[in-house]
Amino acid sequence: QVQLVESGGGSVQAGGSLRLSCAVSGRTASSYVMGWFRQAPGMEREFVGGISRRGSFTYYADSVKGRFTVSRDNAKNTVDLQMNSRKPEDTAVYYCAARSGAYDQRSYEYDYWGQGTQVTVSS
């Protein structure tokens, strides 16, 4: 069984930066494609960014491209989401997720999920 625990959430003013981290335990992180998703109140969960098993490839939603960066450290079993130039519409609960198969942006294709961490951006 794989456990994912997010940390680093909080409040930030628009234009500021925040870094989220996801700790992977139970199995080595390198076994999984990792993704970050977010869900705002009343909205569906949406893909934010993802990273391949070795970190060679990263993928981003158009809404965050150029502002957010996904990275991973397989030696530490962690996956990070660096968020710069934050906007109020980035306010959401952010989740990390792990997938055994190939890269995918669809949330239902992911096998394991963290509990989520709240990120609030004020204008």
- Cβ atoms 88, 58 nearer than 8 A: no
**Residue 121: what pLDDT?**
93
**Residue 91: what pLDDT?**
96
**Residue 123: what pLDDT?**
87
Give the whole-angstrom CA distance, residue 51 versus residue 71.
7
**Residue 1: what pLDDT?**
84
> pLDDT (tens digit, 9 = 90+) per residue, 24-76?
999 888 999 999 999 999 999 999 999 999 999 999 999 999 999 999 999 99
- Cβ atoms 117, 9 nearer than 8 A: yes
Helices within 1-123 (DSSP H only): none
